[in-house]
Structure 1
Amino acid sequence: MHIRSEFDQWAASGRDREMEETHWHTAKRALARIPIEQGDTILDLGTGSGYVLRALNETRHIGQGIGLDVSPEMVTNAREYTDANNISYTVGDFHHLPIADDSIDHIWSMEAFFFASEPLEMLEEIRRVLRPGGTFFCAVNFFEESEQSHRWRERIDLPMYLWSQQEYRTLFRKSGLSVATQDTIPDEDIDIPPESEFPTEEWETRAAMIDRYRTWGTLLTVGVAP
């Protein structure tokens, strides 16, 4: 299935709101690290429901928010959910951003980067649109070290890159971005039942669930434009 069709279906079925709820568990901790100054311009790649831009607008007083998604249905929903004149949404391709050079202060992306067909090309576009010293916060739950996340490939009928932490750093540097930091953020909000309640519908063992959420959680790689 084409990525646009897949995510159009997700938006139509309400999965955009489901992703918003689950991603927020670790997104809120990563977003707090972005060095946003009042009036900054923020680009959200793979914006989904637009929850990140709404949250940043309410708490960090951003100047402009731009949400880009490959799915027209996601963009339609995000517009309906958002009541702010300084936030806009557009349908677009990660590899050809409809944005001027050196015009973005900070870029955020969660659970979208590994869908890029040409990841290095996407990173080069990110570098192009970032102002000098601007940051790219890339958050993913699907990565090599988090073995319990690998099964997602069986549930999503789309090509997905499975990279290690080292491979993310290498890609960033190849594109010209410096790697400021990289770490994992545990999901402390998800409820993990006691051992007596396993197996569950989703998990065979409690240890596997702990590994996914508490041990690994979300991988955050932060790049900085020269």
Structure 2
Amino acid sequence: MSVREEFDAWAADGRDRGMEERHWHTAKHVLARMPVEPGETVLDLGTGSGYALRALADTKGIGRGYGLDGSPEMARNAREYSREADPATDLGGETGAASATDFGFVVGDFGHLPFADDSVDHAFTMEAFYYSADPHETLREVARVLRPGGTFHCAVNYYEENVHSHAWQGNISVEMTRWDAEQYREAFREAGLAIATQDNVPDREVEIPPAGEFPTENWESREAMVERYRTYGTLLTVGVAR
């Protein structure tokens, strides 16, 4: 099954909102760290429900937010959610305006970004990068569209060190790339993105029961659950365009 087919199905049954709720635990901390200035342009790869761009509009006053997704249904939902969040929004066709921020939700491929060279100030992706058919090509494309000094904040839960994520591939028909932290750094550098930082953003909102309540339906031990959410959390790699 293709990315489009898989995530069209997710959008149709409301799982985009479920992803937003789960990802928000760590995504909000990543977004807060982005050095975005008012009026700047931000690209969100794998935008899903579009929540990240709406958050950046509310907290940092971005001037333009592009949300790209491989699923037409995800992009359609993102437009509708943005309109619901701000009734003044007019998202006729692919683009529109919500208050002082213009949103554009488009359908596209990570390996062929429909944006001009040096046209984006910052890029963000949460739990989507590993769906790229060619992650190296995606990084080259991100480096191409970023303006010099622009940042790419790439956040993933599915990665080699997080052993608790390894079984996830069995739950989805789309092939995923599972890199370790060093592979992310190497690939960023090869694409022309200098590494600004790489660290783990813990999920401190998932409630972890007392040790006496284990094993649970999903966890053999409390130690394993603590490791998954508090230690591994989300791997964040930040690259800067040269």
- The TM-score normalised by the length of structure 1 is 0.98
Which runs of structure 2 are paired with 1:49-88 in the superposition (5 Å)?
49-83=49-83, 84=89, 85=97, 86-88=102-104
CA deviations 1:160-191 (Å, max 9, x no partner) are 11111000000000001101100001100111
**Greater displacement, 77-86 / 88-97:** 77-86
Equivalent residue, structure 2, for 1:12: 12
CA distance, structure 2, for counterparts of residue 76 and residue 201 of structure 1: 35
Task: Return structure 1 stretches of 4+ with deviation > 6 angstroms.
Answer: none
Counterparts of 2:10 and 2:215, CA distance in 1: 27
Aligned mates of 1:225, 1:50 — CA distance in 2:
24
- Tell me which amino acid in the other structure corresponds to 2:66: I
- Residue 173 of structure 1 is matched in structure 2 by 189
Q: For 1:100 and 1:200, how far apart are their aligned partners in 2?
A: 50
Q: Which residue of 134, 146, 158 corresponds with 1:118?
A: 134
Give the RMSD, CA atoms, in angstroms.
0.9
Aligned 1:26-175 pairs, distance under 5 A: 26-83=26-83, 84=89, 85=97, 86-175=102-191
Letter in 1 for 2:224: A
Q: What per-residue deviation string (whole Å, max 9, x for no partner) do you get for residues 66-113 of structure 1? A: 000000110111011003411110000000011111000000001111
Q: Secondary structure at the match of 1:49?
A: coil
User: How many correspondences in the alignment?
Assistant: 226
Matched, 1:207 2:220: no
The more displaced of 194-203 and 97-106 is 194-203
TM norm structure 2: 0.91
Deviation at 1:195, TM superposition (A): 1.8
* Structure 1 CA distance for aligned equivalents of residues 66 and 74 of structure 2: 14
1:32 is paired with a residue whose SS is helix
Q: Determine the C-alpha separation between the residues in 1 that align with 2:19 and 2:215.
A: 24
Q: Which amino acid aligns with 1:141?
A: N
Question: What letter corresponds to residue 168 of structure 2 in structure 1?
Answer: W
Structure 1, gaps ≥5 residues long: none
Letter in 2 for 1:183: D
Secondary structure at the residue paired with 1:95? coil
Structure 1 position 44, deviation (Å): 0.3
